[in-house]
Amino acid sequence: MKGADEMDFFDAIREIEQSKVPFSVVWSQFSLTDSSGHGQMCQLDNVMYAGRTQTEDYELIKFRSISDNSIQHCHLYSLYFYNGKKLVINE
């Protein structure tokens, strides 16, 4: 059961893709030290969805900054928070 501060991961992705208003996201970068997804946490505020890039090995999700139109990206499954809500995958 999800708490009030949690959101289903796949519901969040659908909401991100359809959002007409800016949002915030937090994700974990890949750690070169221990070769895992538990690296530095990154946060972007005031962004919009800018598409996805698919490769054989991974899928990136892209975000466009409202302030300067720059594009940032992260591995899709490294997203941890969307608008302050923790993303969870329910089995």
HSE on the CB side for 18, CA within 13 Å?
A: 6
Q: What is the arithmetic mean of pLDDT over 7-31?
A: 93
Q: Would you call 86 exposed, middle or buried from its count of C-beta atoms within 10 A (0-12, 13-18, 19+)?
A: middle
Average pLDDT over the chain reads 89
Task: Tell me the residue type at 61.
Answer: I
Structural contact between residues 47 and 67, judged by C-beta atoms closer than 8 angstroms: no
**In the prediction, which pLDDT does 29 show?**
80
Residue 3 confidence (pLDDT) above 80: no
The more confidently predicted of residues 38 and 63 is: 63
pLDDT, greater one: 41 or 45: 45
The string of pLDDT tens digits covering residues 42-84 is: 999 999 999 999 988 889 999 999 999 999 999 999 999 999 9
Residue with tokens 């070169």: 32
